[in-house]
Amino acid sequence: MLSADDPLPLRPERVLIAGVTGSGKTTLARRIAGLWDLRHVEIDGLFHGENWTPRPSFLDDVRAFAAEDRWVTEWQYTSKGTDEILAPRAQLVIWLDYPYPLVRRRLLLRTLKRRLLRTRLWNSNVEPALWEREGWTGENDILRWQKNTRTKWMERMPHIEASHPHLQVVRFDHPRTLETWLGRVDRALAS
């Protein structure tokens, strides 16, 4: 595993962004796509069909973009089979391992904003309104999901590194560390 102080041994062309829900995977993936001229494929858009139903073509769509030469995406839906497709093709994993209070606050603010503004998401889906109970309880409770999966990457990463030794993994414990690293990497890749 690389630290934020280590130089990248290659110019990454296929990048996975790992982290708990609310850590900023999609925001970072968009940013890296622009900085490194990669195609950003938002994996939520491939998974969620109309009315939040899983799309039957999800894994086929993941296989199709993973076969391309240059991309960045969020590392999600691991229980749906994305590991076997994405990990062998990726070169770099950026792991956002931020403090739980930080990611909790981010997710809460994001959820409140989306519900209050009725933000259109993937395939015209909209989260329940702020005042609706749906989505705050039960299997669709994103805050409970985050709490229950907050240690997932810490538990998985040793196995990932052992199973995919070609993957360069860089772990970040705070957004400030990521910002410093991105600036240094951008300068190095530009020269």
Q: Report domain extents, the chain.
A: 14-190
Tell me the pLDDT band of 130, cut-offs 50, 70 and 90.
Answer: low
Distance CA 21, CA 143 (A): 9
Residue 55 has pLDDT above 90, yes or no: yes
pLDDT digits (tens, 9 = 90+) for 66-78: 999 999 999 998 8
pLDDT digits (tens, 9 = 90+) for 132-153: 666 555 566 778 888 888 999 9
Distance CA 55, CA 121 (A): 15
pLDDT digits (tens, 9 = 90+) for 86-110: 999 999 999 999 999 999 999 999 9
DSSP bridge pairs for 89: none
Cα-only R_g, the chain: 17
Distance CA 110, CA 82 (A): 25
Residue 14 has pLDDT above 70, yes or no: yes
Q: Which residues of 107-138 are buried (b: 16+ CB within 10 A; e: fewer)?
A: beebbeebbeeeeeebbebebeeeeeeebbee
pLDDT at 49: 92
Which of 4-8, 26-30, 54-58, 163-167 has the lowest average pLDDT? 4-8
Which of 32-36, 90-94, 135-139, 174-178 has the lowest average pLDDT? 135-139
Q: Which fold has domain 14-190?
A: Rossmann fold (3.40.50)
Q: Which of 8, 170, 3, 161 is nearest to 83 (CA)?
A: 161
Q: Which of 110, 149, 144 is nearest to 127 (CA)?
A: 110
* Residue the block writes with tokens 């998985």: 156
Residue 51 has pLDDT above 90, yes or no: no
Mean pLDDT of the chain: 90
